[in-house]
């Protein structure tokens, strides 16, 4: 057992990460085992997520995806087109405000709020 306070904290963090990684790896293995033409996009997503989080190497992820696409008969480009369409839909949901500042999901940029506060302070004086 560690004695130093920071080492104790590091041990707790590493145990949390170990559990999270083991769970993600288990889900990935299950997805690879149960893959078919209907859920290939979800499986590709799990493979990409595991590679992003360093659960598996990116080259291994690419090999998995190529092997699955070949066995199921779906080309990866077709799945990429579906992902691009989904991204395009979310990009069109941005809302523009009147003075040129962009507003996304109800959040105002810091600059706009600062200038608004400055104007109210000037009016009060």
What pLDDT digit, counting tens, does each position of 12-55 carry?
999 999 999 999 999 999 999 999 888 999 999 999 999 999 99
pTM above 0.75, yes or no: no
Task: Summarize pLDDT for 45-104 with one digit per residue, the tens.
Answer: 999 999 999 999 999 999 999 999 998 887 655 555 655 666 676 666 555 555 555 555
Q: What is the mean pLDDT of the chain?
A: 79
**46 CB-near residues (< 8 Å, 6+ apart):** 27, 28, 31
Could you give the CA distance from residue 72 to residue 89 in angstroms, rounded to a whole number?
Answer: 27
Cα angle 100, 109, 107; round to 5: 105
What are the phi and psi torsion angles at 29 (to 5°)?
A: -60, -40
* Residue 24, pLDDT score: 95
């Amino acid at each position: 057992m560690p004695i130093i306070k920071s080492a104790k904290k590091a041990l707790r963090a590493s145990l949390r990460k170990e559990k999270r990684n083991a769970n993600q790896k288990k889900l990935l293995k299950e997805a690879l085992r149960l893959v078919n033409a209907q859920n290939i996009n979800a499986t590709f997503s799990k493979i990409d997520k595991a590679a992003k989080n360093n659960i598996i190497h990116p080259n291994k992820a690419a090999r998995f995806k190529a092997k699955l696409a070949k066995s199921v008969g779906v080309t990866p480009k077709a799945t990429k087109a579906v992902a691009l369409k989904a991204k395009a839909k979310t990009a069109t949901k941005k809302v523009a405000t009147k003075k040129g500042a962009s507003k996304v999901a109800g959040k105002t940029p810091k600059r706009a709020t600062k200038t608004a506060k400055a104007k109210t302070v000037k009016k009060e004086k």
